[in-house]
Structure 1
Amino acid sequence: MFVGHALLAFSLAVLIADWRGWPARRALALGFVAGGFAAIPDVDMIYTAVALDLSRLSVETLTRPSVFWDASRGVHRSITHSLPIALAAGPAFGAWAAGTSTSRRWLAVRGIAGAFLSALVWVAWTYSGPAGAVVVGTFVAAGLIVARLARTRTDLSGSTIALVATAGLLSHPWGDLVTGDPPRLLYPFDVQVFEAIVLLHADPTIHLLGAFALELGVVWLAAVAVARVADQSLTALLDSRAVAGVVYGVAAVVLAPPTLDVSYHFVLTILGVGAATGALAAFPNTRSALTRRLRYPPITRWSPLRYVRLSWVSPPRVYVPSIDIDRFLQRYPSPFEAAFVALGCVTVALGSYALVYVFFVA
């Protein structure tokens, strides 16, 4: 879900900017800023570097993610995932990036924002001790970096950055409701909105497939948003090669059923199938060229020495073969096509796996 948090905020910001009639470059800039702020709450994982007991790690325990997650359980999805913290930190980040002037008024605004963010660190120290202060301090530092980059690398105003920062931070916690311990939405108040994980299905494998489908839907939303502002036809981007993912249904019989506790083998293999299909779509001549070389191997082998000229008089020279960019772009499809083929393949693979699991395994 780490990627999904950023892509959800990115896609919503891009679509809203496009709806408001913003140009493509500015809409994408707004999306990147929103995605950057939406990813910041997960910096609380830095606490794992301190709390992780390295003596517990072994080849066997590396296959159990609980060893890693247990080390961060004390602070993860608590302070930085709080809605009150987001409502307080978002405007402060925007105020910090409101301008670059050295006037007294600007310095006063920056001083107030800095004092407000420092107060958040103090609150975390009060309620969660040194661990909370370290986590929120890292959270504040990351937010200031994103805010500064948004101000210096884009033409967004300070008020827009404040609004986008707040929206991005507020959008983060909801994706965590189906993937583990629920976030403390009202920290520092002792009120737990969700007492346990939101189950999509009683079967742990079907629940994982549902959570993966939600994540995949967010990726699709981001792809559609980019295609929309780039003026790309969605129907033209869909490709029949994506049906190759149907063969992944065999994995439901071969692989051990994945769950939230152990899902690496499922995630890596299904993404690998999609990536391979997308790569073949991006370089359609690769397979035919490889087959031709296997059937008719060249008589002379390629040697890098052909691009190196040695001389006893002059120093060695290296000749780099030139690349015709225009010819390259004409020969190979656009990245949009390859990305949509990969997404389509993963989607088909997920559906195929789910059908085989429900009818033959569960």
Structure 2
Amino acid sequence: MFIGHALLAFALATLFADWRGWPARRALALGLVAGSFAAIPDVDMIYTAVALDVGRLNAGTLTQPSVFWDASRAVHRSITHSLLIALAAGPAFGAWAAGTSTSRRWLAVRGIASVFLASLVWAAWLYSGLSGAVVIGTFVVAGLVLARLARTRTGLSGSTVALVATAGLLSHPWGDLVTGDPPRLLYPLDVQVVEQTVLLHADPTIHLLGAFALELSVIWLAAVAVARVADRSPTVLLDPRAAIGVVYGVAAIVLVPPTLDVSYHFVFTILGVGAATGVLAAFPGSVSALAQRLRRGRWGSITGWNPARYFRLSWMDPPRLYAPSVDLDRLLDRYPSPFEAIFAALGAVTIALWSYGVVYVLFVA
């Protein structure tokens, strides 16, 4: 769900800005800021670098996610995933980045925000010890950097950065409810709002497919948001080559049924189907063109590059490296925009997921 956290906030912020009539560039800037803040709660994974037992790593345990997740279980989805922390840190990030001058007014505002954020680190030290202080300290530094970049590079006001930062942080924990240990939504209060993982289905594989579908839906929403602000119709961008994903249903019979504990083989293969489809959409006719060039012993005229001349060696002169020259105008005219490739890849993964699910339910479950 790492990508989904950021893309959900990105999509919602971008669509909101578009609904409010903001220009495309400004709407996308707002979405990028929201998505960036929605991603930083997962900086608590830095604690894994300290807590990971390197002695347990071997050829067998590298395929077991529990070895990695157990090392972070003490702090992951606790401090930085708290709604209370988000409500406190978001406005402080915006206030710290609000002023660009050195006037006493802005220095006072930044000083108050700094003291407030430092108090969060101190509170984490009291409640969770050194590990909590390290995690929340990293969280604060990341938030301050993002807030400053948002203020100086996008032109968003300090109050807007504060609102977007708070909204991004608040949007983060909800996707974690179906993918593992539920986050501590009210940290530091000793109240667990959700006691256990929200099960989408009793069958662990169907539950994983449901969680994957939720993630995929968020990615679709982000892609549609970009298409909307770019004045492109999502329906026009659908590529019939995405139908190739239907063959992935065979994987339900061939592969070991994936679960939340072991899902790498499923995730990598289904994403591979999408990536291959996206490449075919981005470079139409590339496979047939490559075959023709190989048969003729020739390479494309777009680059004017002959691999045999990539290195020119001489007994008299030192080796010389010749970089290919690219005719960018011809390249852009010949190949479509990234929209087609992205939507083709998403379509292929979506069809592959449904195909896998149908075959699994009918013949495996």
Shift in Å, 1:238 = 0.6
**In structure 2, what residue type is equivalent to 1:9?**
A
| Unmatched 5+ stretches in structure 2 | 300-304
Matched, 1:355 2:361: no
Shift in Å, 1:319 = 5.6
Do the aligned residues in 2 keep the contact of 1:245 with 1:348 (CA within 8 Å)?
Answer: yes
Aligned to 2:325: 322
Aligned-residue identity in percent: 78
Greater mean alpha carbon deviation, residues 319-328 or residues 172-181: 319-328
Do the aligned residues in 2 keep the contact of 1:250 with 1:353 (CA within 8 Å)?
Answer: yes
Shift in Å, 1:329 = 1.1
Do the aligned residues in 1 keep the contact of 2:258 with 2:266 (CA within 8 Å)?
Answer: yes
Aligned to 2:309: 305
Do the aligned residues in 2 keep the contact of 1:278 with 1:338 (CA within 8 Å)?
Answer: yes
1:94-144 Cα offsets, whole Å, 9 max, x none, are 001102110011000000000000000011011111100000000000000
Matched, 1:339 2:342: yes
Q: In 2, Cα distance between the equivalents of 1:160 and 1:207?
A: 38
Shift in Å, 1:152 = 1.2
Aligned to 2:93: 93
Greater mean alpha carbon deviation, residues 338-347 or residues 317-326: 317-326
Q: In 1, Cα distance between the equivalents of 2:59 and 2:130?
A: 32
Shift in Å, 1:286 = 1.5
Do the aligned residues in 2 keep the contact of 1:11 with 1:222 (CA within 8 Å)?
Answer: yes
**In structure 1, what residue type is equivalent to 2:240?**
S
Q: 1:309 to 1:231 in 2, by over 3 A?
A: farther
Aligned residues: 360
Matched, 1:45 2:49: no
Do the aligned residues in 2 keep the contact of 1:24 with 1:230 (CA within 8 Å)?
Answer: yes
Q: 1:303 to 1:219 in 2, by over 3 A?
A: closer
RMSD between aligned residues: 1.9
Q: What is the DSSP-based 3-state SS (H/G/I as helix, E as strand, rest coil) of the residue aligned with 2:98?
A: coil
Q: 1:99 to 1:304 in 2, by over 3 A?
A: farther
Q: In 1, Cα distance between the equivalents of 2:311 and 2:271?
A: 38
Do the aligned residues in 1 keep the contact of 2:310 with 2:321 (CA within 8 Å)?
Answer: no
Q: In 2, Cα distance between the equivalents of 1:242 and 1:135?
A: 42
**In structure 1, what residue type is equivalent to 2:361?**
V
Shift in Å, 1:304 = 4.8
Aligned to 1:198: 198
Q: 1:311 to 1:59 in 2, by over 3 A?
A: closer
Shift in Å, 1:323 = 2.2
**In structure 2, what residue type is equivalent to 1:91?**
P
Q: In 1, Cα distance between the equivalents of 2:332 and 2:326?
A: 11
1:267-324 Cα offsets, whole Å, 9 max, x none, are 000000100011011111211023224544459x934537859797x99876654322
Q: 1:266 to 1:315 in 2, by over 3 A?
A: closer
- The normalised TM-score by structure 2 is 0.95
- Superposed counterparts of 1:11-90, under 5 Å: 11-90=11-90
- Superposed counterparts of 1:233-312, under 5 Å: 233-297=233-297, 302-305=306-309
| Unmatched 5+ stretches in structure 1 | none
Do the aligned residues in 2 keep the contact of 1:309 with 1:318 (CA within 8 Å)?
Answer: no
**In structure 1, what residue type is equivalent to 2:190?**
D
Do the aligned residues in 2 keep the contact of 1:9 with 1:34 (CA within 8 Å)?
Answer: yes
Do the aligned residues in 2 keep the contact of 1:40 with 1:143 (CA within 8 Å)?
Answer: yes
**In structure 2, what residue type is equivalent to 1:302?**
N
Shift in Å, 1:73 = 0.5
Aligned to 1:223: 223
**In structure 2, what residue type is equivalent to 1:132?**
G
Do the aligned residues in 1 keep the contact of 2:33 with 2:150 (CA within 8 Å)?
Answer: yes
Q: In 1, Cα distance between the equivalents of 2:319 and 2:210?
A: 60
Q: In 1, Cα distance between the equivalents of 2:357 and 2:150?
A: 41
**In structure 2, what residue type is equivalent to 1:257?**
P
- The normalised TM-score by structure 1 is 0.96
Q: In 1, Cα distance between the equivalents of 2:287 and 2:319?
A: 37
**In structure 2, what residue type is equivalent to 1:358?**
V
**In structure 2, what residue type is equivalent to 1:6?**
A
